[in-house]
Amino acid sequence: MNYLFKAVLTEKGWQENVRITVDGSGTITKICPDAAGGNAEYIHGYALPGFQNAHSHAFQYAMCGLAECFSPGNTPGNFWSWRDAMYRVALAISPEQMENIAAMLYAEMLKNGYTSVAEFHYVHHDVSGKPYGNLSEMGERLVAAAERAGIRITLLPVFYCKGGFGKAANIMQRRFISASYQDYLQLFDASSVSVKYYRNASIGAAAHSLRAVEERDLIAASLLSAVYPFHLHISEQQQEIEDCIAYYGQRPVEWLYNHVEVNENFHLIHATHLNDDEVKAVASSKAHVVLCPSTEGNLGDGRFRLKDFRNRKGRWSIGSDSQIGLGYLEELRILDYAQRIHSHRRDTFVTGTSGNSGFNALEESWFGGKKAMGTPIADTFFEVGAPLDAVVFDANWPLLATASEKNRCNTLVYSAQQRHILGTMTDGKWVVKDGIHFSEEEINRLFVRSLHEINMR
């Protein structure tokens, strides 16, 4: 199969009239810039590598908009009240409903140009808290949902033991809990089997947070980072930092770097509240931070020190987390604007050698995202031997059609909307074309049915 794109983004800028040939499995076999059409399908669009979603809790899609009503003077209206609402949803979902919610969510991600998702998955057990016969029942449903939607998935079964620093798990957390590290390893093994059922699924490891895992267990689990991407929530909320200091006498990132050999396979989710030493430690360890700007804004978390981190060559990626926002470019905008509002400057993504904000944001977040998936790190956006995963923007959109090469990425990052996406490809096939997902009707119908059953909206 041959495609001729009007233009394709490379690390060196845009190339025009690029013909990409894929084999029967969607792997790129040839890339020819300045090519003639021949027998290729012509695509009047600008192709970017498919976006990488480095942090997702699929079930939380069911609760978007459900935690915004407050009783004045009565409800705390903070992260922790949101978490109570999230626990209620987590306690309500059956495996079939989990699959239907995730399939809908993943289809929506594809419509927004995401082609890979790292699923940070912690709703493991049945509603009574008892493990399913298949320990990875829920994880397997997420893999099935990814296959139905046509997105690549890295399943991250999450190790979760406690209800807070020095606290036993509470009854609301009963679906999440592994009694010991040995129990977690059994779950991890079962999850490793589940990902074999879909050729675009892979496995990674995760611990929920310092507050949810005992010291010695976290140190043991982190050794999985020698082989797998290892994801961990950290320093999201001020309260969490105060609790960590009270319990360990150290801040979360400080504790982590004092007890664990942190390497480039670590993906620290949020890392919102870092002091100078922590910014330095994370950047120099080559660990990644996963930023989730729409969720962090929605939950009132705070602002990550991106500029300081980037000045130290810190590595980062983007996640949709609570799913309150699914637009990748919107995430980049929110991230940048929070920095601008704080600093009164407009050069968040500038480096010593490149001043092209949109390109820098796309490039850095994409490579960080690939790493979060556990994919062998690519040198280039599109390369022979890799699958053709792409999001294609409509060349008929007048703003884009008239943008110079220099301003094309900036036009996309700072002003494109979902409606400007012509389509999304995974494995060299259109999964979304002209705004329609290939399995739209069925995925929508089953999602609506499941949400009516859950009856919480």
Q: Which residues are tagged catalytic?
A: 270, 321
Q: Give the tokens for residue 319.
A: 């996640």
Residue nearest to Zn ion (CB): 321
Compute φ and ψ for 210, nearest 5 degrees.
Answer: -65, -30
- Cβ of residue 204: shortest distance to Zn ion, in angstroms? 14
CB of 83 or CB of 199, closer to Zn ion: 83
Q: Would you tell me which residues interact with Zn ion (CB under 5 A)?
A: 321
- Cβ of residue 85: shortest distance to Zn ion, in angstroms? 15
- Cβ of residue 320: shortest distance to Zn ion, in angstroms? 10
- Cβ of residue 90: shortest distance to Zn ion, in angstroms? 13
Do residues 63 and 86 make contact, with C-beta atoms less than 8 angstroms apart? yes
Looking up tokens 């979760």 gives 160
CB of 295 or CB of 356, closer to Zn ion: 295
CB of 121 or CB of 152, closer to Zn ion: 121
CB of 148 or CB of 233, closer to Zn ion: 233
Give the type of residue at 419.
Answer: R
Give DSSP secondary structure letters for 374-443: TPPPPSSSS-TTSB--EEEEETTSHHHHT--HHHHHHHHHHH--GGGEEEEEETTEEEEETTEETTHHHH
* Separation of alpha carbons 402 and 338, rounded Å: 29
DSSP 209: -
Nearest of 126, 107, 115, 127 to residue 58 by alpha carbon? 107
Nearest of 363, 346, 345 to residue 409 by alpha carbon? 363
* Separation of alpha carbons 456 and 228, rounded Å: 36
Nearest of 127, 258, 124 to residue 191 by alpha carbon? 124
Do residues 390 and 421 make contact, with C-beta atoms less than 8 angstroms apart? no
CB of 119 or CB of 321, closer to Zn ion: 321
CB of 304 or CB of 430, closer to Zn ion: 304
Looking up tokens 């079964």 gives 157
* Separation of alpha carbons 170 and 162, rounded Å: 8
CB of 279 or CB of 291, closer to Zn ion: 291
CB-side neighbour CA atoms (13 Å) of 89: 26
* Separation of alpha carbons 354 and 94, rounded Å: 49
- Cβ of residue 270: shortest distance to Zn ion, in angstroms? 7
Compute φ and ψ for 43, nearest 5 degrees.
Answer: -120, 115
- Cβ of residue 431: shortest distance to Zn ion, in angstroms? 25
Give DSSP secondary structure letters for 144-173: HHHHHHT-EEEEEEEE--EEETTEEPPGGG
